[in-house]
């Protein structure tokens, strides 16, 4: 009878002790010591199986990448934000991503320079330009070459960017016979 009461009391303590606690994974074993009338200690093992409720995994965040955006004539940040994101107020984000390139005045954008625009990687485009060779002729300048090849004299910036090592090695002079890389498409992302 004493053993039955003792087991009932111990079970009650275990249930009260476990209520309100956060369960964990695994088995817990506790040892209870009791004295009976003959001063002999008895040990009784009580095993309680516990579990943990796991939160469902949240979906992964979309991975974003930056891709180049070639500034066009007449572009300004709100126009770019509206065209590229459908939200003119994103001009502030574009400015913060490109402040080092743009400078302190967000209204000063130069055609045929590049900005970095953030996109989800699933929407990123292949913006690697394809080139053809052009042999510099007598009288060619970056300005008139840009007008003839790209239809806009301000695109001389692209000719300079794509051929800067050759131009620097010739002290900025376009030497006849030098072979330049010219883009097949001025803005490969468009």
pLDDT of residue 20 exceeding 60: no
For the segment 120-177, what is each residue's pLDDT rounded down to a tens digit? 888 878 888 999 999 999 999 999 999 999 999 999 999 999 999 999 998 989 999 9
Please state the pTM of the whole predicted model: 0.61
pLDDT of residue 50 exceeding 90: no
Tell me which range, 10-24, 41-55, 117-131, 150-164, is most confidently predicted by mean pLDDT: 150-164
For CATH 3.10.350.10, the residue range(s) in the chain are: 64-123, 131-183
Residue 167's Cα: distance from chain center in Å? 35
User: Which class does domain 131-183 fall in?
Assistant: alpha beta
d(CA 66, CA 130): 20
- How crowded is the C-beta side of 165, counted as CA atoms within 13 Å? 2
CATH code at 64-123: 3.10.350.10
For the segment 85-117, what is each residue's pLDDT rounded down to a tens digit? 999 999 999 999 999 999 999 999 999 999 999
d(CA 108, CA 75): 10
Query: 91, 83 in Cβ contact below 8 A?
Result: no
Grade residue 6 by pLDDT with cuts at 50, 70 and 90: low
């Amino acid at each position: 009878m004493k053993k039955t009461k003792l087991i009932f009391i111990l079970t009650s303590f275990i249930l009260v002790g476990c209520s309100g606690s956060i369960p964990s994974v695994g088995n817990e074993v506790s040892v209870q010591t009791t004295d009976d009338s003959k001063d002999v200690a008895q040990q009784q093992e009580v095993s309680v199986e516990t579990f943990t409720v796991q939160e469902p995994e949240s979906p992964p965040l979309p991975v974003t990448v930056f891709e180049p955006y070639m500034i066009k004539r007449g572009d300004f940040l709100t126009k770019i934000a509206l065209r590229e994101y459908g939200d003119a107020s994103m001009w502030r984000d574009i400015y913060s991503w490109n402040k080092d390139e743009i400078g302190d005045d967000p209204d000063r954008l130069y055609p045929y320079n590049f900005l970095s625009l953030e996109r989800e990687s699933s929407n990123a485009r292949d913006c690697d330009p394809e080139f053809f060779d052009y042999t510099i002729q007598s009288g060619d300048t970056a300005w008139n070459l840009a007008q003839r090849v790209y239809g806009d004299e301000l695109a001389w910036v692209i000719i300079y960017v794509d051929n800067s090592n050759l131009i620097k090695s010739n002290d900025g002079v376009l030497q006849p016979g030098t072979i330049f890389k010219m883009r097949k498409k001025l803005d490969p992302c468009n």
